[in-house]
Amino acid sequence: MYRKDAHADDSEPDAADRLVEQAFRSPSDDALEAQLRGQLRGFRQDLHEHAYVRRLERPPVWQLLRGWRPRLAAAASLGAVLVVGAVLFSLSQSTPTWAQVAEKFNSVSSLTATIYVKVPAWKEPRQCEVWIDRSGKGRVRCDSQVVFSQGGNVVKAFDVERREETSPNQFASDVIRTVGSEGTYSIETVLRIFGDTLSEATPQVNADAMISEDLVVFDIRSASSAERCRVWALRRSKLPVRVLAVDPVSGRVTDSILTYSKPQPARFFDPDVFAEQLKRNPGAEGGQSYTDLEEWIGRVVPAETPAAPTDGAASERK
Amino acid sequence: MDKAEELYAALIEPIEDRMIAIVMRLVRDREDAADVFQEVLATVWSKLSQIHRHPNPQACILRICVNQAYDALRVRARRRRCEVPLEPEHIEDRAAPVAEEEAGGRDIEALVRAAVLSLPVQQAQAVLLRLLDGESYPVIGRILECSEMTARSHVSKGRARLREILSEQGVV
């Protein structure tokens, strides 16, 4: 029974091996062997019914399409699906470059920015709202002041609280001068609000910071100062939505939320219209800051303060 | 030739004799052997697609045979241990009349089978494939899904351990 093969390097069979052979020697049982072979025959016949074998016997889809026309149509459909899929995938996956973001930003007709500044970092933030349109007109609300500008120059400034024309505060002036210095705004001019040297550096995509698939993150490190900045842009529209700048030396933190809307009406940027309404509505102190602003939380901010309801009107509503 | 015939000719036909031999040698009881063989075929049936895609389908089927037969052997050995305890003194009186000698021979076979079954599974299977079927080490390795070197090691260790056990029991 023991067969020595070409690879065998173990010892010759000994008494123990012979005992094992003897103990497990094949019983000469023809009937049993015939029975087992019968089982194999049954298995062989049943194999035709096996689900896997049936699947193998089924012709591939390609063979079901008889003739060149159905095959061509199927191939064309498959190709079209693949192309559309590839295009959609690339559109959804491609990361915009900074040049694309800048180009897209420069093409929008109107920009609103809410800027928070903390100097140093532990101080309460100072908030400033900026509206600019492509013609170079701007309006800034900073503290109690509303400042109007044209092409980077302050036209008029009003103190809404005191309800009179005033000289603009420094921060509002700086913003207006920076953004409007070139007649119109660009991503570079916006970055100058956040740091003098940031617009000189090349923003780099930061893949590690892109947790959300919808957002692309660009990091900017100034070459000549410690200033650094991060810009979040929407992947599909390529528009920047948030800019955060930090100067670790001074502790200045500037955070800005950028939103985009239809251009504001001309009267919104007209200081004379604003001055007139300021005179006419002595009761509307806080709301005057947003006078004539369209689509501000779904409505035009009324230029005039609605009259307080009378008792009769109140009872009518009831 | 249809797919079923193709599959049978490729997977089972070349090893029909070896499948039957493994089961008959390990499971000597006729009824048990038929049951075990049916179990083997049922397992092959249920895993047919995996076996077909296996890089070495025939080794895979032989492994099923060895495993099923070996399991049956162990079950039967456990059953016998409960029924008739195997005592070494049963084989001490070797110079007995022919009838007693035959009975002693059967006891020795039972002891040897028990000794084989006391080995670790992989060792026992490797030893049986080597000694009974004369399989080469590469084939044993493929059946047991291990390397040729590991198969050699299993056979070598198994044989050494068997010699020890049978020597302790005074059989060799």
Interchain proximity B172–A23, CB inside 8 Å: no
- Chain A residues 122-141 within an 8 A CB cutoff of chain B: none
Tell me the pTM. Answer: 0.45
A31 touches chain B (CB under 8 A): yes
pLDDT at A285: 59
**Of A185, A108, A117, nearest to A177 (Cα)?**
A185
User: Which residues of chain B make contact with A7, given a CB cutoff of 8 A?
Assistant: 136-138, 148
Flag whether pLDDT at B43 surpasses 90.
yes
Flag whether pLDDT at A41 surpasses 50.
yes
Neighbour-count burial for B11-41, b at 16+ CB within 10 Å, e otherwise: bbeebeebbbbbbbbbbbeeebbbebbebbb
Interchain proximity A32–B33, CB inside 8 Å: yes
Secondary structure string (H, E, C) spanning chain A: CCCCCCCCCCCCCCHHHHHHHHHCCCCCCHHHHHHHHHHHHHHHHHHHHCHHHHHHHCCCHHHHCCCHHHHHHHHHHHHHHHHHHHHHHHHHHCCCCHHHHHHHHHHCCEEEEEEEEECCCCCCCEEEEEEEECCCEEEEEECCEEEEEECCEEEEEEECCCCEEECCCHHHHHHHHHHHCCCCCCHHHHHHHHCCCHHHCCCEECHHHCCCCCEEEEEEECCCCCCEEEEEEECCCCCEEEEEEEECCCCEEEEEEEEECCCCCHHHHCHHHHHHHHHHCCCCCCHHHHCCCCCCCCCCCCCCCCCCCCHHHHHHHC
Neighbour-count burial for A101-137, b at 16+ CB within 10 Å, e otherwise: bbebbeebeebbbebebbeeeeeeeeebbbbbbeebb
Average of per-residue pLDDT across A48-75: 81
Percent of chain B at pLDDT > 70 equals 84
B14 touches chain A (CB under 8 A): no
How many CB contacts within 8 angstroms connect chain A with chain B?
A: 128
Q: For the segment A270-293, what is each residue's pLDDT rounded down to a tens digit?
A: 999 888 888 877 665 566 778 777
Average pLDDT, chain B: 84
A29 touches chain B (CB under 8 A): yes
ipTM exceeding 0.90?
no
- Chain B residues 25-64 within an 8 A CB cutoff of chain A: 25-26, 28, 30, 33-34, 37-38, 41, 44-45, 48-49, 52
Q: Which of B25, B49, B112 sits opposite A19 (nearest CB)?
A: B112
Q: For the segment B69-87, what is each residue's pLDDT rounded down to a tens digit?
A: 988 888 887 777 676 555 5
User: Which residues of chain B make contact with A57, given a CB cutoff of 8 A?
Assistant: 2-4
E-strand stretches of chain B: none
Residues 6+ apart with CB under 8 A from A289: A141, A146, A160
- pLDDT confidence bin for A236, thresholds 50/70/90: confident
Average of per-residue pLDDT across A43-62: 85
Burial category of A79 from C-beta neighbours within 10 Å (exposed 0-12, middle 13-18, buried 19 and up): exposed
